[in-house]
Amino acid sequence: MELLKAKGIVKNFPGVLAVDNVDFEVNENEIVSIVGENGAGKSTLIKILTGVLQPDSGQIFVNNKETGFRSPVDAFEKGISVIHQELNLCDNLTAAENIFLTFEVVKGKKRTLSSRLNEDYMRKKSAELLDLVGAHFSPNVLVRELTTAQKQMVEICKALIKEPKIIFMDEPTSSLTIEETRKLLEVIHMLKARGISVVFVSHRLDEVTQISDRIIIMRDGKRVGELKREEFDMDTIIKLMVGREVEFFPRGIEVLPGETILEVRNLRWKNKVKDVSFQVRKGEVLGFAGLVGAGRTETMLLIFGINKKEGGEIFIKGNKVNIEKPLDATRLGIGLVPEDRKLQGLVLRMTVNDNVVLPSLPVISNHGWVLNDRKERAISEDFVRKLSIKTPSVYQIAENLSGGNQQKTVLAKWLATNAEILIFDEPTRGIDVATKAEIHRMIRELAAQGKAVLMISSELPEVLNLSDRIVVMWEGEITAILDNRSKKVTQEEIMYYASGRLKQNGGQA
Ligand SMILES: Nc1ncnc2c1ncn2[C@@H]1O[C@H](COP(=O)(O)OP(=O)(O)OP(=O)(O)O)[C@@H](O)[C@H]1O
Ligand SMILES: [Mg+2]
């Protein structure tokens, strides 16, 4: 039976036809995925089907009855919940308070101005829900103390309080680790077993094919295909998504590494970074592998001056340097594409153009701060083209771009700076397969141009295929630095060092 059906949905934004005459249906008892490149219209469609946005035209049916959603609360009351691409929790409230934020439960039968909140009930119910999704923390804990995966569980509980028929999840796994993802997929199966259908969005196609009963493919705002479980095939999905062939890992753009550009010796910070030492050379991609909490991001934050190191030294081209703040790092030719692009990467209220050229201002401006508009625009347009950033113009406000296109904008901003040392922290998180391949090529090309690249990635194929050498970290220490040029490193080898069971040269950790 069709729980939800949409016909001929259209949504325009200025200069963008985001959803173009799309039909969509969610059946009872199914997990259906929507896949498509960045900007294909997935999130917009979900927002329409969950009452966040109103369509320009089209019809929506719930249980075969035509209806519409006046607001997210209206959709929620009709049995449709959603977990958006960006989590929407209040950091300073507890898990229980967040779970019941929209639907507080009061004491007594009727809600009046003087009603008191039934906190005991809400806490107890929250604890039950958290238990149901296998989250073993107290409902009284403040959300800001939780990890991303735990916050996601709070979101799921919040989605569950009205006993929904459908839960939409927009890229719920994009910032989860492999283990956390496995757990979330289990929760999704559990929800299905309890009679809740799930609509799932992810750029990780292995997850999508693993979990879905049906896959709907979108391209340029249109629904371009549908596959049932027995028809699943990676190449078919990608071809429908992209409309052309994709070359996954670039070959033949390796160069011989040159002189050492960056060296760090015995970096220390709290108990997160313990005596970290390594060198990186011109023309080299140095990959960083490890589990979450291994200290990879923390190490980069010290090199970039976001956190202040408590010990150790940094050398650039053999000269000891003093990096106290990010500006010192950028002046020394270091660029960082951070893991959390929303917090550290983009000014959402500014245009794509301003975001891209912002860190390069001293280079572009003629005298002091007099900017050269034409030069600026040429640079940002060049990057929009190179990274295929989907936007009507470089003067679009960054906030209006799709999630993946915002990420590409952050990449562009650092690529525009001419930094000699580039640090990428999870460079392809949330990025579609085709663009991912473009970014991989670009990383190799940057190295070939003589830059030194430090790349943190939790995707082992990415580390293995792009790195000249691989640093493996475990609990703040380097457990191995592996040469990936003369002999290809294996996943097993990395996992072994990443688990801390062994240190290089045979030393037990
Ligand atoms: N509020 C808005 N104003 C203007 N344009 C918008 C707005 N929201 C989305 N768009 C545009 O609509 C198109 C579809 O965006 P949408 O967020 O639905 O893509 P998506 O498929 O979810 O992509 P991603 O995989 O990157 O999350 C994009 O070109 C985007 O820039
Ligand atoms: Mg999206």
Q: Is the CB of 241 under 6 A from ligand 1?
A: no
Q: Is the CB of 55 under 6 A from ligand 1?
A: no
Quote the pLDDT of residue 508: 53
Tokens of 223: 């629904």
DSSP label of 390:
-
Strand 311-316 to 260-269 pairing: antiparallel
Count each helix (H run) and each strand (E run) in the chain, helices first.
Answer: 18, 20
The order of strands in the sheet holding 285-290 is 334-337, 421-425, 452-456, 285-290, 469-474, 477-483
Taking residue 320's Cβ as centre, other Cβ atoms within 10 Å add up to 10
Residue closest by Cα to atom 24 of ligand 1: 38
Residue 337 contacts residue 423 (beta carbons within 8 Å): yes
SS3 at position 361: helix
pLDDT tens, the chain, 509 aa long: 899 999 999 999 998 999 999 999 999 999 999 999 999 999 999 999 999 999 999 999 999 999 999 999 999 999 999 998 887 899 999 999 999 988 777 666 666 666 677 888 889 999 999 999 999 899 999 999 998 889 999 999 999 998 899 999 999 988 788 888 999 999 999 999 999 999 999 999 999 999 999 999 999 999 999 999 999 998 899 889 988 767 677 666 677 888 999 999 999 999 999 999 999 999 999 999 998 789 999 999 999 999 999 999 999 999 999 999 998 998 899 998 887 666 567 888 899 999 988 767 655 555 555 567 788 888 899 989 988 899 999 999 999 998 888 888 888 888 887 889 999 999 888 888 888 888 898 899 889 989 999 999 988 989 999 999 999 999 999 999 999 998 889 999 998 999 887 788 765 55
SS (H, E, C) 283-334: CCEEEEEECCCCCHHHHHHHHCCCCCCCEEEEEECCEEECCCCHHHHHHCCE
User: How far away, in angstroms, is 66 Cα from ligand 1 center?
Assistant: 26
Quote the pLDDT of residue 151: 92
Residue 295 contacts residue 473 (beta carbons within 8 Å): yes
Residue closest by Cα to atom 3 of ligand 1: 400
Residue 154 contacts residue 126 (beta carbons within 8 Å): no
Burial class (CB in 10 A: 0-12, 13-18, 19+), 143: buried
Q: Is the CB of 18 under 6 A from ligand 1?
A: yes
CATH 3.40.50.300 fits 1-79+203-245, yes or no: yes
Considering every ligand atom shown, identify the ligand nearest to the alpha carbon of residue 15 and give its number: 1
Residue 480 contacts residue 497 (beta carbons within 8 Å): yes
CATH assignment of 260-506, given 3.30.565.10, 3.40.50.300, 3.90.1570.10, 1.10.10.10? 3.40.50.300
Residue closest by Cα to atom 17 of ligand 1: 402
Considering every ligand atom shown, identify the ligand nearest to the alpha carbon of residue 17 and give its number: 1
CA distance 136 to 147: 12
CA distance 208 to 236: 13
Q: Is the CB of 396 under 6 A from ligand 1?
A: no
Considering every ligand atom shown, identify the ligand nearest to the alpha carbon of residue 16 and give its number: 1
Same fold flag, 1-79+203-245 and 260-506: yes
Residues found in the chain: 509
Ligand 1: nearest atom to the Cα of 14: 4
User: In a mutational test of the pocket of ligand 1, which residue from 11, 17, 37, 44 has the highest number of ligand atoms less than 8 Å from its CB?
Assistant: 44
Quote the pLDDT of residue 439: 86
Residue 458 contacts residue 426 (beta carbons within 8 Å): yes
Q: Is the CB of 400 under 6 A from ligand 1?
A: yes
119-132 vs 148-160: helix crossing angle, rounded to 10? 110
Q: Is the CB of 35 under 6 A from ligand 1?
A: no
Residue closest by Cα to atom 1 of ligand 1: 400
Q: Is the CB of 39 under 6 A from ligand 1?
A: yes
Global pTM reads 0.81
Ligand 1: nearest atom to the Cα of 432: 25
Domain ranges within the chain, ordered by starting residue: 1-79+203-245, 260-506
Quote the pLDDT of residue 367: 53
User: In a mutational test of the pocket of ligand 1, which residue from 43, 396, 407 has the highest number of ligand atoms less than 8 Å from its CB?
Assistant: 43
Quote the pLDDT of residue 113: 64
User: In a mutational test of the pocket of ligand 1, which residue from 401, 428, 429, 432 has the highest number of ligand atoms less than 8 Å from its CB?
Assistant: 401
Q: Cα torsion for 308, 314, 317, 323, to the nearest 10°?
A: 20
Residue 106 contacts residue 113 (beta carbons within 8 Å): no
